[in-house]
Amino acid sequence: MDPVIIVGAGPVGLTLALALARQEVPCVVLDEGPGKDEQRLARTVVLREDTAALVERLTGLPLTDAGFRWAGWRSMRRKQVMREIDFAVRASDTDSPDFEADAQGPGSAAHGAGGGAHGAMSGTQAFGGRTHGSGSGAQRSGGSARDPKGGAQSLKSAGLGPSTDAQDSEGADAPAPIHLAQHALTGALREAIIHERLIKVAVGSRLDSIEQESSGVTAHTRGPNGTWWRGSYLVGCDGPRSTVRKLQDIRFPGRTAVERYAVAALRTELPWPGRALLHRMPPWRTSGTASGEVTARPLADDVWRLDWLLPPGKDLVTPDLLVARIRETLAGWNAGSTPPYELLDTGVHTVHHRLARRWRAGRVFLAGDAAHLLGALGTQGLDEGLRDADNLAWKLALAWHHGPHEALLDSYQAERRAVVAARLRAADQALPLLRGGGGLRSYVPGSARGHDALLTDGHLGRGPLGTPGAYADSPLAPAHTESETPVDTAPGAPVVDVRVTAEDGSFVQLRERLGRGVLLVVLIAPGTGVWARKHWVTAGIMPRLAAAVTALPHRAELLVAESYPGAAAHTVLLVRPDGHLVTALSGVRPADLYAAAETTLGGPATAEAEAEAEAETAASTT
């Protein structure tokens, strides 16, 4: 069978290629560029727990080697600390050789914009590379990147001390977001592809036509490697100006320039090492038009990304104006004294909100920025693009190996477009409240704290603005049965990453078993972690459950967990290849388990699809 053609070699396209290759599906990646990415510290991405785990699984690279995991989050309004969150440190982070060094001093970083952090980068102005600063008594924190109270004394000396009720316990058990330059992410994906035999990257290949027929797709590229490419499916991951989307005549409605930010990446020390900051209505005077909001997000090596919200309009951000704003901001955070800093990169980032009308046209699909643009209020467009790739990969792999299954392929648009549309609606509803100038509502008691909570949700991937989407209304959701039992994870939502015992007796995290194109069946059996697998694998309900798993309509792996949030003993979880919960059953229910699995795969496969798959497999082996 012909390979899958992926147009675009950004993070989403490369992630999709690796995810397909892990499921034994060959791919051709059409890269319009030279195969290398410009190194821009003003273009960064913030990955949540699930998307960071996806990238680590595909690349084999701990992202802490390429990025920086925040120690905490602080939000301020004028001089008051509104919210303080300390993030949990993962055990794998403390095993890193860099952990001790990070713990002894500030490990900071920059938070970037385009292509992932907030959406598309436009109007980029690069005039970095200079070292500035007064060098006069810049205050240094006695805290560390891992010290949740680091920099408190410096804040108090600057008149920016915390309020007594600012501490937020919501993040205490939550893993920290990880922040890295986009070129570092893309580089890690490219390095993994070098070692992947099923992926071919064609650089200098600019798409100019697509032809579809019932058996496949033909694409033509121009340039040094201009040629015709034959594929089984084609996925457009070619960004906001997607050629694939235009060739398929798919509309891309939405709003232009929802927000604009001036961006600077610089190396310096701030009074809260390792902690991201959102500062609304800062109390110092600013050059030019006042900025109602500034964020500071740490990267590795004492680098920070600073974003200043710009007023509506197209006013030019000149180098002199940006440098003045940098000095004023740093002085405001350091008791009036500008600390030494090195300006590394700059830009202007414009956020657009757009959503493609269709994400599928026959054998052609859209993913990432080609399908949607979002990024206002701190939300992350690349996060959603990576979830697109994760959702689509296992469905394409199933269709590639077993023949096209229209209901399964249609579910990609039904699931992912609904989630992104809900995210855009939530942002559009919040924007007038947060950016509309206030009015009488700004004087309502508690309104400032409510606004802060909304922005925190967007930046940290929580609430309607940021929580990973659930597919509760998916066409792949099975019908309700009496054997269903409630757990803390709702059907369609991502599962919790608990420790499980694999079929070979090894202990692994549940997320490590995802992305291989197989269904996961997880039995909750307290006490099994104490005994070797051989002592309980043939006892109790295990033989009956193993037989039920073997009889499923698709390959599945049986795992055992000692516990799962909200699950009683002998609960059986059915999990999709992309880590979303299908159903939780009370005990071993072979018929209900089979029916749920069959629905998850799009329903019974048609005889025509099976015959077509067998014919194509036979043709490819001759």
Q: Which residue type sits at 511? A: R
Average pLDDT over residues 437-453: 60
Contact 318, 124 (CB under 8 A): no
Q: What 3 state SS string does 487-504 have?
A: CCCCCCCECCCCEEECCC
Contact 20, 12 (CB under 8 A): no
Average pLDDT over residues 404-419: 96
Q: What distance in Å separates the CA atoms of residue 387 and residue 390, rounded to the nearest whole number?
A: 5
Q: What distance in Å separates the CA atoms of residue 227 and residue 221, rounded to the nearest whole number?
A: 5
Of 477, 476, 480, 483, the C-alpha closest to 572 is 483
Half-sphere exposure of 363 (CA within 13 A, CB side): 24
Q: Which residue has the higher pLDDT, 24 or 166?
A: 24
Tell me the two tokens of residue 389.
């790739």
Tell me the two tokens of residue 191.
């390095």
pLDDT band at 286 (very low <50, low <70, confident <90, very high): low
Q: What distance in Å separates the CA atoms of residue 566 and residue 547, rounded to the nearest whole number?
A: 26
pLDDT digits (tens, 9 = 90+) for 513-527: 999 999 999 999 998
Q: What distance in Å separates the CA atoms of residue 332 and residue 159, rounded to the nearest whole number?
A: 9
DSSP state of 35: S
pLDDT the model gives residue 117: 38
| Candidate from 11-20, 148-157, 249-258 with smallest mean pLDDT | 148-157
Of 619, 553, 622, the C-alpha closest to 232 is 619
Q: What distance in Å separates the CA atoms of residue 373 and residue 355, rounded to the nearest whole number?
A: 7
pLDDT the model gives residue 91: 55
Q: What distance in Å separates the CA atoms of residue 2 and residue 6, rounded to the nearest whole number?
A: 13
Q: What distance in Å separates the CA atoms of residue 443 and residue 525, rounded to the nearest whole number?
A: 54
Q: pTM for the complete prediction?
A: 0.86
Q: What distance in Å separates the CA atoms of residue 464 and residue 506, rounded to the nearest whole number?
A: 37
Element (H, E) at 538: none
Residue 199, SS3?
strand
Contact 509, 597 (CB under 8 A): no
Q: How many helices (H) does the chain have, and how many strands (E)?
A: 16, 28
pLDDT band at 90 (very low <50, low <70, confident <90, very high): low
Contact 355, 420 (CB under 8 A): yes
Average pLDDT over residues 604-622: 52
pLDDT digits (tens, 9 = 90+) for 134-172: 433 333 333 334 344 445 445 554 455 544 344 554 545
Neighbours of 615 (CB within 10 A): 12
Burial of 445 from C-beta contacts in 10 A (0-12 / 13-18 / 19+): exposed
Distance of CA 113 to the CA centre of its chain: 14
Contact 133, 341 (CB under 8 A): yes
Report the b/e string of 460-471 with b at 16+ CB within 10 A: bbbeebbbbbbb
Q: What distance in Å separates the CA atoms of residue 87 and residue 189, rounded to the nearest whole number?
A: 27
Contact 22, 198 (CB under 8 A): no
Contact 227, 5 (CB under 8 A): no
pLDDT digits (tens, 9 = 90+) for 258-285: 999 999 999 999 999 999 999 999 998 7
Contact 72, 171 (CB under 8 A): yes
Q: What distance in Å separates the CA atoms of residue 218 and residue 228, rounded to the nearest whole number?
A: 7
Of 405, 336, 349, the C-alpha closest to 375 is 349
| Candidate from 61-65, 82-86, 516-520 with smallest mean pLDDT | 61-65
Average pLDDT over residues 38-56: 93
What does DSSP say about strands 556-561 and 507-509: parallel, antiparallel, or unpaired? unpaired
Distance of CA 267 to the CA centre of its chain: 26
pLDDT band at 378 (very low <50, low <70, confident <90, very high): confident
Angle between helices 381-402 and 49-59 (to 10 degrees): 50
Angle, CA 110 vertex, CA 107 and CA 115 arms, to 5°: 140
pLDDT of residue 291 exceeding 60:
yes
pLDDT of residue 241 exceeding 80:
yes
Q: Which residues contact 97 (CB under 8 A, 6 or more apart)?
A: none
Contact 121, 114 (CB under 8 A): yes
pLDDT the model gives residue 161: 52
Strand boundaries in 283-434, DSSP class E? 293-298, 303-310, 341-355, 360-361, 364-366, 372-373
The per-residue pLDDT of the chain, averaged, comes to 84
pLDDT digits (tens, 9 = 90+) for 471-504: 999 999 999 999 999 999 999 999 999 999 988 8
Tell me the two tokens of residue 160.
């920016």
Q: Which residues contact 436 (CB under 8 A, 6 or more apart)?
A: none
Give 3-state DSSP helix, strand, coil % of the chain, rounded to 5.
30, 25, 40
Neighbours of 24 (CB within 10 A): 12
Burial of 409 from C-beta contacts in 10 A (0-12 / 13-18 / 19+): buried
| Candidate from 337-341, 364-368, 611-615 with smallest mean pLDDT | 611-615
pLDDT the model gives residue 170: 52
